[in-house]
Amino acid sequence: MVSELTKEKNYRIEVSSLDLYSAQNLEEDMTKLFQNDLSVIYIDFSNVEEVSSAVIGLLLYKKMMFQKQGVRLFLTNVKPQIQKILKILNLSCHLLA
């Protein structure tokens, strides 16, 4: 689901829809990213067209857990429709790079 885009800290989501059913796979992939000893992780959302509230909650939870360990997490190349949702929820400043 998440593939390495560049050598160090950029990763791309490979599916277009992140829903409740894909949340567990995303959580597992993000846990693996955390084990790579990085200080910043950028997740490229250019392929993502839809995102569920469960996944938004997961992203916030992971961001909080990563921050406690000194790792920053940001989403990049987020589609306008998802940016709009994040803005309505007042989360764009927390998740977007």
Q: Are 17 and 49 in contact (CB under 8 A)?
A: yes
Per-residue pLDDT of the chain (97 residues; tens, 9 = 90+): 655 555 457 889 999 999 998 999 999 988 887 777 788 889 999 999 999 999 999 999 999 999 999 999 999 999 999 999 999 999 999 999 8
Given this model, what pLDDT does residue 31 score? 86
Given this model, what pLDDT does residue 97 score? 82
What the chain holds in terms of domains, given with CATH numbers, is 2-95 (3.30.750.24)
Given this model, what pLDDT does residue 36 score? 74
CB atoms within 10 A of CB 57: 11
Q: Are 10 and 45 in contact (CB under 8 A)?
A: no
Given this model, what pLDDT does residue 5 score? 53
**Which pTM does this prediction carry?**
0.85
Q: Are 73 and 43 in contact (CB under 8 A)?
A: yes
